[in-house]
Amino acid sequence: MKEHCDNIGRHYPDIERSVLIRCLIRKNEEEINHIIMRAKESNESVEEFRKRLSAIVRTPDEVTSKLREYIDLGITHFIIHFVALNESSLKLFGSKIINKI
């Protein structure tokens, strides 16, 4: 993208780069596994479900780490689709992630 900007005379740092990601966040793996076991197909493994879900399925520290990877790649804006959204997951995101990234 930087090369393309150079070719057309556009200032690369002026471009805002965004990503749309799905995120299932809970305070621990036990809560995550509980959600997965209720949501997955009966003939589907946990790994198959996670792959099909195509989301960041993590605890707050792990979500923070994953979002930092995107930031390191140059992402400046996130559009987050929360999976199994509830008040607790929003509070976790607000209190444990927003201020760390």
For 19-42, how does the pLDDT look when each residue is reduced to its tens digit (9 = 90+)? Answer: 999 999 999 999 999 999 999 999
pLDDT at 2 over 90: no
pLDDT > 90: percent of the chain: 84
Contact (Cβ atoms closer than 8 angstroms) between residue 40 and residue 49 = yes
Rounded Cα distance, 2 and 6, in Å:
6
For residue 8, name the pLDDT band (cuts at 50, 70, 90).
Answer: very high
Question: What is the structure's pLDDT at 99?
Answer: 85
What SS3 state is found at 71? Answer: helix
Count Cβ atoms within 10 A of the Cβ of residue 67 and give its class: 0-12 exposed, 13-18 middle, 19 or more buried.
Answer: buried
Question: What is the structure's pLDDT at 101?
Answer: 84
Question: What is the structure's pLDDT at 1?
Answer: 84
